[in-house]
Structure formats: C-alpha cells, structure tokens
C-alpha cells in the first residue's frame, strides 16, 4: 500500500486556462480501463521538457524531441499506457508518427505540433490501430476540469493517482499550476518509467521554460529511486499557456521567475515523492540526506548507494535496524578519499555511528523505534564540506518481487 | 535452493601438503555451529591476496593487509563467521589484533604472522572472548584432510558449502590445488561478503603469487553479482606452501606459471559461480556474455547493468521473457555513443532483438522455452569491437527479500 499517500481529491485539482483534457478507454492492454489521454493546448502555449537518458529510448521520446525542435508550437500531447513503444525499431517510429498524424487530423493542426508519449510493456508492437480508433473519443471528451481522470488514465502499476494543484499570486495576478505524474517501478533518475505533466497559465519565455523544467527535475524526479532501473520512456513536460494578465516572464533574475520556479519545483517534488510513496511494494518512505560533502555530486553518489542497496531496503522492510548495511553502502559508493572516521550517521534524530563504528550513545531500542515508523530519514554528515543532497526512496518488499514477476501476466 | 550446485564430496577434497585445518564451535552468533577456522601453514609458505575496495572495510581486512606487508612470513589464518568486525572503529582494530595475538601464543609465532578474517553481521562488537576461548579447540583439531569441515565453518547464509580440488602435472610433478569459499548475499565485485581461500603445494615467487591471485580474481570473483552490494570484508587469499619437488615458479612467461595460473583461475571460477548458484533466494543461474565491445571495461559495464537490474532479475524468476527490460538495462548502462540499432540480443541460441527492436524471427514460445531452464545465457553482441566479458548472476525471488529481511533474527 502507498506510504502516507492518498488519492487526490478531484475538486481540488484546478483547471489551467488553455489546457483541455480528453480521456478514453482504447483497450490497449486491457479492456474497460482509461488508457488514452489527449491534452489540447490553446494557441501560443509553450512547452519544454526533459527526457530519459536511456540509449534505448522509446520511439515516442525521439519523435517528441523532434517535434519540440520545430518552430510551429505544440498544440496537443497524446499519452497512452499499456505499451511503451520502446525497443520497437523502425516500426515503432512509424507508429509514433501515425499516432501524431491521426490526432493532428482530428484537431486541424500539423503532426509536428503533437507530442506523443507511451508507457507500459517494452518490445511489443504499439497497437496503433486501437489508439487511432480511440482518439475521437478523447476529442469528444475534452474538458478543462478533467485533470482527475487524466491522472488516472496515465497509471500503469500505480495504485494511487498522482496530481496536485497550487496557486501563487504574482504582481496581483493569480497563477495556477496543476501537475500529474505516473510511475511506480523502473524508477531511477535520468529518469524512470515516469511521466509527468505540469501546466501553468502563466506566459514564460521559451528558454526560461526550459531552464525551469530542468531545475525542477533536478530537485525532484532526479532525486528518487525505487529499483535503480532507468526507463526508456521517461519525460517531464512543463506547459505554459500564457492565458493570464501577467506579462510574459522573461527575466531569469526577476521575482516572477523566482516565484514560479519555486512553485513549479514544489509541484514536481510532491509528484516525485508520490511516485516513491507508491513505489512497487513500498511499505516505508525513506529520505536520504547527505550533507557536509565537498560537492552535490558526491552527496548524491553516496545517497544513491544507500537508496538503491537491496540490503538496506530489505532491512527497512523488516524494520530491522541492521544499520551496518548503510555504512557498507557508504563505503562502496566510490568516494576514494572518504574518511570513514570523520562521518556521522543518524536515523532521524538518533546518532547511530561515529568514529568509524557504532556511537557510544546508540541503543538498539532507539534504532528500533525509528525503524517502526513509516516515514524515516537517514542522515549522513560527511564533515568534509558544505554541500548537501536529499534523495527519496522506499523499502524493498515481497510485493516488489511479486509485482515485477507478474507484470506481463 | 541452490541452482545446479551440490555439496562437495569430502573424499574428493584433496589435502594440500603444508596446510592444516582446525575447526571448532565457538558460539559466536549461534550455539552448536562450526564457526571458527584456523588454517596453519608450514614454514616458508607464501600468501598473497586481494581485498574489498569498500572504504568501510572491516578491521580484520586492515590488519590482514598490515601483516601481509611484514617480512616474517604468514603462519596461520583465522576465520570466524557470525560477526564481521566491520563498522566497529578502534575497538574493532584492537579485537582483530587480540585474536591474532591469542592464536600466535598457541602456535608459537608472532601476531604479525597471523591473518584474521571475519564475516557476518556489521557494526556489532566482535565477541573476542569467545573466539580466544575457541582457538585451542581449533588447534587440537588440526588436520590436513579437514577441507570439508573448513568449507562448512565459513558459511553464513550459504545453503551449500563451496569447495573444490584440482590437480595438474607440471614437469612430471603432481601439483594439488584446493579452494574453499563462502558467500551468498552482498555479492558484487571488488568484492562481496565473500571469503575465498585457495592453497597449492607448489612454490611460487611472491610477486608472481600476487599477480596470479589478481588475475584469477578478475576472471572469477570480480565477475559475479547477486545484489549489487559490495561487502566490507571480502578477501581472496592464495597460499603456496612449496611442499613439492617442483622448483619455485619464478618466470611469469614460463609454462609452469601458465599452467598454474590456468588451474588456479579454474578453481576460482568454480567457487565464484558456486556463490552465485547459491545466491540468496536464487532459482536460476544466469551467464551474461557481452561481446563485440571496444574494450573489456565497456563489456563489463553493460553486463553489470543487466546482471544487477531488479527488473531483469524478477522477470527471470518468473520465467517471463519480458526481454525489453534487458534492452532498457543496456540503454542505461552509460555507454553514451552506443548504437542500439547495431546490437543483437540472444537468449541462449534464440535471437531476440536486432535493428533496435524485436527480431523478425523471434517467437514468444522460443523465449519461453529458454526462460524455463535453470541455467540461461544472455548474450549481447555490440558489433563495435572485439572485446568480450562474461559475468554471472542469479534471479531475484521472494526468498531474497525473506532472507535479508530476517538476517539478524
């Protein structure tokens, strides 16, 4: 069950002026399941995104990158679940283009103004006929207040839908930001079987929009791991429709940009953490804070060694304070000149280790108490600099194995 | 259950002239369990080894390295299970030295002529009193034909003991090599919760002995992964007692060295594969061959991305040919200029993928047939060079989680 994560309340998800969402059941992998989403954008909307760095990236990722580079402006996104259209070679590329062309025909725009996204099983042909047959249903269903259904339509092994809205007032103008995401397994940065879509009604200049989505991803989706597997299909898209009275944001040092960046990052962090809380088989949500490092990179390197260790994760599943496994992970993280005698390890507020061994003040019952919680922070203080990184992960349970052993059945 | 691995037959484990083994029940972690081993070496024996690269390496690893650097020659090794004496700070160092001194007193040698090894739980104080109390029992038990009991005495979560003997005839002289190892979880190169001891009665010059153990490790223990965790305590030791008529081997290009290197490497590969076959919860033994690479490093990098992927490993557990997960792992291995359209993926003899997608000839029933086997080879042909690497791993099952969630209880 998801760890301290409840389903979003439909009434709290705010429409974003200029974004319309249509959902249908296209029977892509299973019957009677919302599995196809179209997000239509008003003219003049801008879109920026970050994509997986997997060399085996999926056909829709390649096509979406191509289309984003065109000057005409994006008018719609089409997202299917049930099939990733990854590892599908040239046929996969043709299928992604066919999907775009079919939707463009319905919306009266160019195929290059459509961004395609797919998530689901890898290396099986995309059922492009079913998708094309479903698109008119999406178009007929198009509404501004469809975010709740949209969040459900992109789920695969997710148990809970992930969506949030936030408003900020900038120069007296209320700006709305609404985001949805999916992901539960194959989660590791750069990025994971993760799809995220965040839209705002503010107007943001294109280069700043790209900067904003990159910065938000680095503090959110690039700070999570469930199983260390980086997916072929990950994408985080940031949409700015420019449908409010606020003038276009075009100064990266201005207060409007700063306020928007903070709000977008906050939405992205909520969604990224929700993915970990809903991590496959998760029973605990674990924050890994590594501080006192020479730079952020080494903090993340140590954090990920801890966060992806199956031994650490099974110990947390068992609520067993077998905390030497955390020391072992720190030790093999690859920091060659790390002085283990200088570092301190805390579990929430409990000092576990210092001087290269167990802290004199540490008592097993204190470790046991923290281990019994569902939200736990592992804190490592390296004492060799001022840099800091925080990552989020979950524990590793029987159900992770069960879910992934039966994924295709 | 171990995958196609049976317990060694005591009668087939050959004594190595100059090595005597004594075992006792020291009650280190549990009662009534052989958990303390002393290997006594005849005078003039040479020892070389490779150790974990974990920064949080255990106290016995530090002390063993120190003692190996002394000129006096090693006279005995002492190995306990049940406690790793890792993450134990200064007290751990004192405990390792106390263990050596206690054994040196019994054997009439210097403490620096003893090498200590520990394996078991991390960050708990070594029960050095129990070990010291057990040592006389080991000494009283000392025999040349005790290899079978020795292999059992070093087990932790291992189900099956790992031991093998081999003989080669060099210049008319029969040379014996016998090796034992332990390890089942926390297995990943450089190295793992792995202890290995290989002894030969040949005489080998010290620098060549070091070269031989390094080369053997690189083709064996540095080619396996169970869970991607690198332990604090790993060590592989190679002992040469020089108790045969064969003159000292001191030419790295000579036939004697070549023959011995091949035999030692063969023993090391058997032991390393045995560790994977007995991997925690393993139901399948998987060889990962990556060929056609520019260099061995990139072949290993791709091989390890596959071999440690929880998604790949759970698919093998389920006998589900969800082979796109292998492509995804290849894609995120970090080879930036990898041409995915050029590579081919085989499962045993079945061509699964080419041209960036599923092979036209691939049929699900062929993949399913291979997936049903207990020994499976994943073969990747990169088509960008002539280098090759082979790694070994196992699948990821419910029992892995079960074993590691209950390790300390």
Among A123, A332, A358, the residue with its CB nearest the CB of B324 is A123
Where residue B190 falls among pLDDT bands split at 50, 70, 90?
very low
Smallest CA–CA distance, residue B102 to chain A, in Å, is 23
Q: Do B332 and A409 touch (CB under 8 A)?
A: no
Strand-strand pairing, A36-41 and A173-182: unpaired
Q: Do A310 and B311 touch (CB under 8 A)?
A: no
Among B87, B315, B398, the residue with its CB nearest the CB of A357 is B87
Interaxial angle between packed helices A310-317 and B398-405, expressed in degrees from 0 to 180 and rounded to the nearest 10: 70
Q: Do domains B10-277 and B285-405 have the same CATH topology?
A: no
**Three-point CA angle B31, B36, B41, nearest 5°:** 165
Instruction: Answer whether B136 touches A (CB < 8 Å).
Output: no
Using CA atoms, how far apart are residues A140 and B394, in angstroms rounded to an integer?
50
Which residues from chain A sit within 8 angstroms of residue B84, using beta carbons?
A: 324
**Residue A68: is it exposed, middle or buried by C-beta count within 10 angstroms (0-12/13-18/19+)?**
middle
What's residue B408's pLDDT?
Answer: 55
pLDDT single digits (tens) B227-248: 666 667 788 889 999 999 999 9
Using CA atoms, how far apart are residues B291 and B299, in angstroms rounded to an integer?
7
Please give the CATH superfamily to which domain A285-405 belongs.
Answer: ArgJ beta chain, C-terminal domain (3.10.20.340)
Residues 59-98 of A with CB under 8 A from B: 84, 86-92
Q: Where are the beta strands (DSSP E) in A266-331?
A: 285-293
Where residue B39 falls among pLDDT bands split at 50, 70, 90?
very high
Instruction: Tell me if B51 sits within 8 A of B64, measured CB to CB.
Output: yes
Q: Which residue has the higher pLDDT, B374 or A30?
A: B374
Residues 333-352 of B with CB under 8 A from A: 333, 335-336, 338, 340-341
- The DSSP element (H or E) to which A370 belongs, if any, is helix A364-371
Question: In the predicted model, is pLDDT for residue B31 greater than 50?
Answer: yes
pLDDT single digits (tens) A117-166: 999 888 889 999 999 999 999 999 999 999 999 999 999 888 899 999 99
Which residues from chain B sit within 8 angstroms of residue A316, using beta carbons?
A: none
Which residues from chain B sit within 8 angstroms of residue A362, using beta carbons?
A: none
Strand-strand pairing, B173-182 and B162-170: antiparallel
Among B327, B402, B407, the residue with its CB nearest the CB of A87 is B327
Smallest CA–CA distance, residue A335 to chain B, in Å, is 8
Residue of A nearest to B56 (CA): A331
Which tokens sit at B109?
Answer: 């040698």
Strand-strand pairing, A195-200 and A173-182: antiparallel
- If DSSP codes are grouped into helix, strand and coil, which group holds residue A123? coil
Q: Is A99 a catalytic residue?
A: no
Which tokens sit at A19?
Answer: 């974004």
Residue tagged active-site, from A52, A193, A225, A283: A193
Question: In the predicted model, is pLDDT for residue B409 greater than 70?
Answer: no
Q: Which residue has the higher pLDDT, B4 or B111?
A: B111
Instruction: Answer whether B53 touches A (CB < 8 Å).
Output: yes
Q: Residue-wise pLDDT tens for chain A (409 aa)?
A: 788 888 898 889 999 999 999 999 999 988 889 999 999 999 999 999 988 878 888 999 999 999 999 999 999 999 999 999 988 999 999 999 999 999 999 999 999 999 999 998 888 899 999 999 999 999 999 999 999 999 999 998 888 999 999 999 999 999 999 999 998 766 654 444 688 899 999 999 999 999 998 888 888 888 877 666 666 778 888 999 999 999 999 999 999 999 999 999 999 899 988 988 988 888 999 999 999 999 999 999 999 999 988 889 888 998 888 888 899 899 888 898 999 899 999 999 999 999 988 999 999 999 999 999 999 999 999 999 999 999 999 998 887 777 777 655 4
What's residue B194's pLDDT?
Answer: 82
So what's the ipTM on this one?
0.75
What's residue A406's pLDDT?
Answer: 67
Question: In the predicted model, is pLDDT for residue B191 greater than 50?
Answer: no
What's residue A123's pLDDT?
Answer: 85
Residues 183-212 of A with CB under 8 A from B: 185-186, 188, 190
How far is the CA of A121 from the CAs of A28, A157, A186, B327, in angstroms?
11, 11, 11, 12
Per-domain boundaries in chain A: 10-277, 285-405
Q: Do B320 and A186 touch (CB under 8 A)?
A: no
- If DSSP codes are grouped into helix, strand and coil, which group holds residue A203? coil
Using CA atoms, how far apart are residues A151 and A162, in angstroms rounded to an integer?
6
What's residue A397's pLDDT?
Answer: 85
Instruction: Please state the pTM of the whole predicted model.
Output: 0.82
Which residues from chain A sit within 8 angstroms of residue B232, using beta carbons?
A: 324, 327-328, 331
A10-277 CATH choice from 3.40.50.1820, 3.90.190.20, 3.60.70.12, 3.10.129.10: 3.60.70.12
Residues 244-303 of B with CB under 8 A from A: none
Contact partners, residue B171, CB within 8 Å, separation at least 6 = B246, B256
Among A186, A331, A409, the residue with its CB nearest the CB of B57 is A331
Smallest CA–CA distance, residue B201 to chain A, in Å, is 35
Using CA atoms, how far apart are residues B186 and B226, in angstroms rounded to an integer?
7
User: What is the average pLDDT across B333-344?
Assistant: 91
Instruction: Answer whether A124 touches B (CB < 8 Å).
Output: yes
């Amino acid at each position: 069950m998801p760890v301290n994560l409840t389903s979003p309340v439909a009434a709290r998800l705010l429409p974003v002026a200029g974004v319309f969402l249509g959902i249908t059941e296209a029977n892509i992998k299973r019957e009677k399941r919302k599995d196809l989403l179209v997000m239509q954008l008003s003219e003049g909307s801008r879109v920026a995104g970050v994509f997986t760095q997997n060399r085996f990236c999926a056909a829709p990722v390649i096509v979406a990158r191509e289309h984003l580079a065109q000057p005409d402006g994006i008018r719609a996104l089409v997202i299917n679940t049930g099939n990733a259209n990854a590892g599908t070679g040239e046929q996969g590329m043709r299928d992604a283009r066919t999907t775009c062309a079919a939707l463009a025909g319905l919306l009266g725009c160019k195929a290059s103004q459509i961004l395609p996204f797919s998530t689901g099983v890898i290396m099986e042909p995309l059922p492009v006929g079913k998708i094309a047959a479903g698109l008119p249903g999406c178009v007929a269903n198009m509404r501004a207040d469809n975010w709740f259904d949209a969040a459900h339509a992109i789920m695969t092994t997710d148990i809970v839908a992930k969506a949030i809205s936030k408003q900020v007032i900038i120069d007296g103008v209320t700006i709305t930001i609404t985001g949805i995401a999916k992901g539960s397994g194959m989660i590791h940065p750069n990025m994971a079987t993760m799809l995220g879509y965040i839209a705002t009604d503010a107007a943001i200049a294109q280069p700043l929009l790209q900067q904003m989505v990159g910065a938000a991803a680095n503090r959110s989706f690039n700070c999570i791991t469930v199983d260390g597997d980086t997916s072929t299909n990950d994408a985080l898209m940031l949409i700015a429709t420019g449908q409010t009275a606020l003038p276009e944001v075009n100064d990266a040092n201005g207060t409007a940009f700063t306020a928007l960046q903070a709000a977008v990052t906050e939405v992205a962090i909520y969604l990224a953490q929700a993915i970990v809380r809903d991590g496959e088989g998760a029973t605990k949500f674990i924050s890994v804070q590594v501080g006192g490092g020479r730079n952020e990179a080494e903090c993340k390197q140590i954090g990920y060694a801890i966060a992806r260790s199956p031994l650490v994760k099974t110990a947390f599943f068992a609520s067993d304070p077998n905390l030497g496994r955390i020391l072992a992970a720190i030790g093999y993280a690859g920091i060659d000149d790390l002085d283990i005698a200088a570092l301190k390890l805390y579990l929430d507020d409990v000092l576990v280790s210092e001087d290269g061994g167990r802290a004199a003040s540490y008592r097993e019952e204190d470790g046991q108490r923290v281990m019994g919680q569902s939200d736990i922070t592992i804190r490592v203080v390296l004492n060799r600099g001022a840099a800091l990184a925080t990552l989020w992960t979950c524990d590793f349970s029987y159900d992770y194995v069960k879910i992934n052993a039966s994924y295709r059945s």
